[in-house]
Amino acid sequence: MHSRAEALASHDPGTRGHSERTAAYALHMARVIGLPIEDHEKLRWAALMHDVGKLTISTGILQKPGPLTASEFEVIKRHPNDGMALIEPVRSWLSVYADGVGQHHERWDGTGYPNGLAGEEISLAARVIAVVDAYEVMTTGRVYQQKISVASARAEIVDKSGTQFDPTVADAFLSIPANDLTES
């Protein structure tokens, strides 16, 4: 899987730091939500690999500075399923945490992708990755999105709790002091 992570970092340079920070935040969450210690590394790896399916997307789409067209967004929406195919060699080791790769864009209210899962149909790993991924994107920015303050990002998580995010997972994330996350 290191080779896949390296390939993604080469394909989309901003993804390396994003994936590493997302994985570090997921590890914090593993502790906060009380996952068994033997599962911490599995959640961290799932978070590290959550965007590996972007290897199948052209850099023109990934690095586009403006809004995506509807057809470009359809291409983006394939990356969770493509990621599941790419992690197949380690899927048995990742166990239930592998679903974090394939479901991290599902939404608590069922309006996400790729399968429109809702509530607890979405794996716990994916529900955790959804929150930490969104927080990381909001606080570091992207070519297509300005970064926002930590306070604004935390307020956005509160606002999206119960729609985009599992409320229990969102609350657990918000229980982590913001300073602990900046030191990840």
pLDDT by residue, tens only, the chain of 184 residues: 556 556 655 666 667 789 999 999 999 999 999 999 999 999 999 999 999 999 999 999 998 988 999 999 999 999 999 999 999 999 999 999 999 999 999 999 999 999 999 999 999 999 999 999 999 999 998 777 789 999 999 999 999 999 999 999 999 999 999 888 874 4
Cβ atoms of 5 and 19 within 8 Å: the answer is: yes
Question: For the whole model, what pTM was predicted?
Answer: 0.92
Q: What is the 3-state secondary structure (H, E, C) of 80-119?
A: HHHHHHHCHHHHHHHHHHHHHHHHCCCCCCCCCCCCCCCH
Domain 2-182: CATH class, spelled out: mainly alpha
Cα torsion 37, 18, 156, 129 to 10°: value is -40
Query: How many Å apart are CA 72 and CA 61, to the nearest integer?
Result: 7
| pLDDT value, residue 9 | 58
Q: Domain locations in the chain?
A: 2-182
DSSP state of 66: S
